[in-house]
Amino acid sequence: MLATRLSPHLKKLTKVCPEIYRQFVPSNKEEQDETITSADPLLEEHFTVTRGLVHKYGNRALVLLTMNCAAYCRFCTRRRKVSDIAKGIVSTKDLDNMVRYIKQHPEIKELVFSGGDPMTVPEILKQALQKFVKLPQIKVIRVGSRLPVSNPSAVNKKLIEALKIVKKQPLYLMLHFEHPAEITEATIKALNRLRPVCTMMLSQTVSLKGVNDSVEILYNLFSRLVEVGVKPYYFFRCDPVIGVEHFMVDFKKEIKIFTELRKRLSGLATPLYTIDAPDGSGKIPVPLDFWEFKADSYKDFRGKKIKVK
């Protein structure tokens, strides 16, 4: 059962922005799912190889350091266990077990730290990074977080010092944004503190009914992200997890919205629109309405048919 938590920063925003309120304040709709029954559609428990390490794709592994977040998003994919602090923070022994598994699997080249939010536990993050950066097989490190949005003042010296451990590998920060009103002055300042210690900041956005199911909102979000130095990376269809059905946008409407966005946004501001297949088989790009691409012809953004020469 996902607990309720809001930071003082978000509490203020929920009072002026209904789209932010819906993301963090529980509704009784969470108890009313009709068609979704799975708590773990991406089969992460099945692919957990040692506590805190999920190895589903050959060359990369997911590291889950904690079940803690600065605020709990009601649509969280891992709501089955996020906020359950008892299942929470990994120990030094868990980290050593992860190192052992990674060494036994030289095909793992990339580590992806994901939520609960690893940036909310800078001491553990530092300890984990100290162990992982020493492994010559690890070429890339990604850290996912919503902290710059949910509690920007917690992007502090301690966290920056932890991230500075990564020197040899490129460090990509994958930051969660769902609505343009989340890009406040405080969040921009947090991004400015993170920028010098990473290779690149990218964003992930989940498509959410009543939050961002509109061309205007997403246009503003992705345009603003580029302006504040964050490259929009993924736009995900909401995962079909029990308790989140009320957030799922009608698929045809979602495709229509994204088709329109693709016409209006620059390439830099356009994320990859993707569905994470609910049988654990991975991410699949969603074809858009104008993408009637055949071997001998295709349609442009205005629907004009063009022959391939």
Chain contacts with ligand SF4 (rule: CB under 6 A): 69, 72-73, 76, 78, 82, 115-117, 146, 176
Distance CA 110, CA 92 (A): 20
Distance CA 13, CA 7 (A): 10
CA dist list (Å): 78 to 5, 65, 117, 242, 273: 15, 13, 11, 10, 20
**In this complex, which beta carbon is closest to ligand SF4, that of residue 75 or of residue 265?**
75
Residue 17 assigned as binding residue: no
Residue 42 burial (CB < 10 Å; 0-12/13-18/19+)? Answer: buried
**In this complex, which beta carbon is closest to ligand SF4, that of residue 78 or of residue 237?**
78
**In this complex, which beta carbon is closest to ligand SF4, that of residue 81 or of residue 265?**
81
Residue 238 assigned as binding residue: no
**In this complex, which beta carbon is closest to ligand SF4, that of residue 207 or of residue 259?**
207
Angle among Cα 6, 77, 122 to the nearest 5 degrees reads 55
Q: Which residue, among 167, 175, 168, has the nearest Cα to 193 in the 3D structure?
A: 175
DSSP class of residue 264? H
Minimum CB distance to ligand SF4, residue 79 (Å): 7
Minimum CB distance to ligand SF4, residue 304 (Å): 40
Minimum CB distance to ligand SF4, residue 82 (Å): 5
Query: What three-state secondary structure class fits 109?
Result: coil
Which residue has the CB atom at the shortest distance from ligand SF4? 115
Minimum CB distance to ligand SF4, residue 53 (Å): 16
> Which parts are annotated binding residues for [4Fe-4S] cluster?
69, 73, 76
> Which parts are annotated binding residues?
69, 73, 76
